[in-house]
Structure 1
Amino acid sequence: MKTYQGSCHCGACRFEVDMDLDHVRSCNCSVCRRRGALIHRVPKSALRLHTPLENLTVYQWHSRTAKDYFCPRCGIMPFRIPSAPTAQEKAEGKHPFVGWAINARCLEGVDLADVPVKLVNGADLS
């Protein structure tokens, strides 16, 4: 387990997170494909905010169960709360994830070329 320091581009949003960065997730849904974030999920207790959530902008769409937190100054999304499972996912036995999805591109000192990427087919979820 390692503690990483993270921030948005301009530094107005700062955080630290404890995790084993053994992979990142790349989703092909319409939002993630355009965003280009590489995500690693962590339990709620692993993220420590140095910037209050109230200082960030929240974007929600579709089921409105996910919350994407953005810096209102530079527009970067350092972390998000993942969406609840769809009906299809629930039928397949998927349980809700309770925690944070960290944008690994916002972590200091990380060479993402050395981190395996797992592809997520979010485009096919209804």
Structure 2
Amino acid sequence: MTDKEYSGSCHCGEVQFKILTDFPELTTCDCSICVRKNALMVKVHESKFTLIKGENFLTEYQFHTKTARHYFCKKCGIYPFHRKRVTPDYFGINVYCLDNFSPEGIRVRATIGAGMA
């Protein structure tokens, strides 16, 4: 399968980005923040992620080891993506923020984040 370009944004549209991916899988996570966000994510290398606009609308939240960097739109509060803790050169993209995308038919893997020390 070949990478395809997808556009995404927060709810209000102030934060816009694009990614390249072939969607090998989607993931959920059981850590304290991911459970509350209820996001479905795809892992994308930083070289396949482009922030088009809205850097000034992003706010960052960190907790625990302060390695992962969770980003939210300051205006609408939506979580579009985060920098991953274990692989910080990758982004976890909230696929529900992608335009014209359906996760139907893509394998979903549950990741264990709650027990990470």
TM-score under structure 2 length normalisation: 0.91
Q: 1:2 maps to what in 2?
A: 4
Letter of the structure 2 residue corresponding to residue 44 of structure 1? E
Report the alpha carbon displacement of residue 79 of structure 1 after superposing the two structures with TM: 0.9
Residue in structure 1 matching 2:99, options 85, 88, 108: 108
Q: Distance in 1 between matches of 2:7 and 2:109?
A: 23
Q: Which has the larger radius of gyration?
A: 1
Letter of the structure 1 residue corresponding to residue 82 of structure 2? R
**Which stretches in structure 1 are left out of the alignment for 5+ residues?**
85-95
Q: 1:118 maps to what in 2?
A: 109
Q: 1:23 maps to what in 2?
A: 25
Q: Distance in 1 between matches of 2:62 and 2:14?
A: 21
Deviation >3 Å, runs of 4+: none
Q: Distance in 1 between matches of 2:60 and 2:23?
A: 25
Alpha carbon RMSD of aligned pairs, Å? 1.3
Percent pairwise identity: 37
Give 3-state SS (helix, strand or coil) of 2:93's partner. Answer: strand
> CA offsets per residue over residues 73-122 of structure 1, 9 Å max, x none?
111111110114xxxxxxxxxxx452211111111111123221100111
Give 3-state SS (helix, strand or coil) of 2:104's partner. Answer: helix
Give 3-state SS (helix, strand or coil) of 2:114's partner. Answer: helix
Letter of the structure 2 residue corresponding to residue 125 of structure 1? M
Q: Identify the structure with the greater strand proportion.
A: 2
TM-score under structure 1 length normalisation: 0.85
Q: Map residues 1-126 of structure 1 onto 2, 5 A cutoff.
A: 1-84=3-86, 96-126=87-117
Question: In the alignment, is the contact (CA less than 8 A) between 2:72 and 2:78 conserved in 1?
Answer: yes
Q: Distance in 1 between matches of 2:24 and 2:99?
A: 16
Report the alpha carbon displacement of residue 124 of structure 1 after superposing the two structures with TM: 1.6
Q: Distance in 1 between matches of 2:90 and 2:24?
A: 17
